[in-house]
Amino acid sequence: MATRHRFIFLLNSAQRHLQQWMAQKQADAAARGDAIPTPAQAGVLFALAQSDGQAMGQLAQVLDLAPSAVSGLVQRMESLDWVARHADAHDGRTLRVWLSPAGRSHLPVLKQTTQRINAQLSAGFTEAELATVARWLEHVQRLDAPRHD
């Protein structure tokens, strides 16, 4: 008899545990007095480091978030002086987001932290196993995409 995997439960539970674990890491850093970006804020900083001056819609797409969520996120980051929003030079209706020096200063620590977390998440797994997990997660992300069979 084939094993019945509880994918939905396992995926939801893993996501919830990862968020709680990350929130605890964030709380520990805050207790030490470190002002470090949240995972969502780190995503914005990494996206802008890769391509600065993205339109809000582009940023939402890159981060796989609703435009309204990105708007609030960027607003909070702007109040921390980590990013700046400016109207597009060619289309005043479009806001572009730029990484500020204060935001850029977080990148080295965020990169180290991300590498350490990824090492913990992948510990004990072979490269082949991790490739399969990554392929499956990418498959799940595309479940609502049109199929071309």
Predicted local confidence at residue 69, as pLDDT: 94
Is pLDDT above 70 for 131? yes
pLDDT higher at 11 or 92: 11
Is pLDDT above 90 for 146? no
| Token pair 């207790």 in the structure block, residue | 31
Distance between CA 102 and CA 112 in Å, rounded?
17
Closest CA to 104 of 39, 23, 42, 17: 42
Is pLDDT above 90 for 77? yes
Least confident range from 5-9, 57-61, 120-124, 131-135: namely: 5-9
Burial of 33 (0-12, 13-18, 19+ CB in 10 A): exposed
Q: State the average pLDDT over residues 36-62.
A: 93
Q: State the average pLDDT over residues 110-133.
A: 93
pTM for the full predicted model: 0.82
Percentage above 70 pLDDT, the chain: 97
